[in-house]
């Protein structure tokens, strides 16, 4: 009751903290949506890693985004500490009423405590069983059932101390300008009608499918009269993979926008696609959030945690076609392609079902 009284203010100020990768940031949006649903007039700010800002920059319910730039380390110890101190002072000046700390780093706990917010909620992580972690938060949400929950559901359990009704939808937001920029790029390539987005790459190559199998899938869809738009990140290895796939496909009705789109533009092009085909990566989560018909090629990540949330389509799991290692024991630098166990036929058949 005392906590509810502390949050009973007409100008409620909330800070949400999450310091992870792009996909993790997208999957925090149900928490943001829940907070906004419960307190529609609250000012909700977010603290994240600067490189993930684009994932949330167009979200209509976020007032301000603060970023921690990992490039600060290049400034030397004095310069780095000056940036961190400036951030701490800026956050403290906001006079937050509530801090929701979804992160597990000590840095996030220190920031949470330094804000001076009267209500500071974090997770009772098993690896953070210490008096200092408890000191940084006024309430800790339990994680006892997290091993059986999707990441979205895990995130939402932090709201239990607030007795807030959870909103489970993930929001991938972009602007009209983002879509206009995509339309211009498509027009330049001669694409004016229906198209399929194929994102064969991931920053982790052990999550990728064989290039020849992806090319065979694209070729089959080309033969059906479908137009294919290939996308990827700007990394040289990802662009090389795209080139390998393109070289194995007929040239008709296939274009590449690999490395040419911002994250929000990628969301826009996926949103307007007839179908998305991709591996376990951020675009897969975007497609699920946008309810674009989706074929997700998945493995060896934990299906319980990272399957596309509320996907409209099919998840094709490599574990149904061959043995997979324990996700916790995967060497992220391995050259093994665990998805290669997946044949071409079920992917093509799934695409045709979703397009029919």
3-state secondary structure 92-121: HHCCCCEEEECCCCHHHHHHHHHCCCCEEE
pLDDT number for residue 3? 66
Q: What are phi and psi of 278, to 5 degrees?
A: -165, 175
Q: How far does Cα 252 stand from its chain's mean position?
A: 32
- Cβ–Cβ < 8 Å for 317, 326: no
| Rounded Cα gap, residues 12 and 30, in angstroms | 19
pLDDT number for residue 5? 64
Angle at 165 between CA 146 and CA 67, to 5 degrees: 70
pLDDT number for residue 79? 94
Q: What is the mean pLDDT of the chain?
A: 95
pLDDT, one tens digit per residue, over 148-200 is 999 999 999 999 999 999 999 999 999 999 999 999 999 999 999 999 999 99
pLDDT more than 70, % of the chain:
99
pLDDT, one tens digit per residue, over 252-310 is 999 999 999 999 999 999 999 999 999 999 999 999 999 999 999 999 999 999 999 99
pLDDT number for residue 333? 86
pLDDT number for residue 1? 46
CB 253: neighbour CB atoms within 10 A? 20
Which residue is listed with tokens 């602007």? Answer: 175
Residue 2 has pLDDT above 80, yes or no: no
Once rounded to an integer, what is the mean pLDDT over residues 52-79? 96
How many Cα atoms within 13 Å fall on the side-chain side of residue 291? Answer: 3
Residue 4 pLDDT grade (very low, low, confident, very high; cuts 50, 70, 90): low
pLDDT number for residue 6? 77
Q: What are phi and psi of 189, to 5 degrees?
A: -90, 0
- Higher pLDDT, residue 326 or 217: 217
pTM for the full predicted model: 0.95
CB 43: neighbour CB atoms within 10 A? 17
Report the candidate in 331, 283, 339, 334 with the shortest Cα–Cα distance to residue 311: 283
- Cβ–Cβ < 8 Å for 158, 143: no
């Amino acid at each position: 009751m005392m906590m509810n009284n502390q949050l009973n203010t007409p100008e409620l100020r909330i800070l949400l903290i999450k310091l992870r990768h792009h996909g993790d940031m997208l999957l925090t949006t149900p928490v943001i949506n829940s907070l906004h649903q419960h307190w529609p007039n609250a000012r909700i700010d977010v603290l994240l890693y600067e490189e993930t800002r684009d994932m949330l920059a167009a979200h209509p319910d976020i007032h301000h985004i603060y970023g921690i730039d990992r490039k600060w380390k290049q400034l030397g110890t004095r310069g780095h500490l000056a940036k961190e101190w400036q951030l701490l002072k800026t956050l403290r000046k906001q006079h937050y009423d509530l801090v929701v700390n979804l992160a597990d780093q000590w840095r996030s706990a220190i920031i949470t405590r330094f804000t001076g917010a009267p209500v500071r909620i974090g997770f009772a992580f098993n690896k953070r069983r210490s008096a200092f972690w408890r000191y940084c938060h006024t309430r800790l949400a339990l994680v006892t059932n997290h091993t059986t929950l999707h990441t979205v559901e895990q995130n939402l359990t932090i709201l239990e101390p607030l007795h807030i009704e959870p909103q489970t939808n993930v929001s991938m937001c972009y602007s009209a300008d983002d879509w206009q920029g995509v339309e211009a790029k498509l027009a330049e390539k001669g694409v004016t009608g229906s198209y399929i987005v194929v994102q064969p790459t991931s920053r982790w190559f052990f999550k990728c499918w064989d290039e020849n199998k992806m090319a065979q899938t694209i070729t089959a869809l080309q033969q059906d009269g479908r137009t294919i738009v290939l996308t990827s990140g700007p990394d040289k290895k990802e662009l090389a993979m795209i080139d390998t796939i393109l070289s194995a496909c007929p040239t008709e009705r296939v274009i590449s926008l690999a490395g040419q789109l911002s994250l929000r533009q990628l969301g826009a092009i996926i949103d307007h696609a007839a179908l998305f085909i991709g591996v376990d990566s951020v675009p897969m989560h975007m497609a699920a959030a946008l309810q674009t018909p989706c074929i997700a090629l998945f493995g060896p990540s934990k299906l319980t945690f990272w399957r596309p949330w509320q996907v409209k389509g099919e998840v094709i799991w490599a574990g149904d076609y061959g043995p997979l290692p324990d996700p916790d024991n995967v060497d992220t630098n391995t050259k093994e392609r665990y998805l290669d166990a997946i044949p071409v036929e079920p992917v093509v058949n799934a695409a045709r079902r979703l397009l029919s």
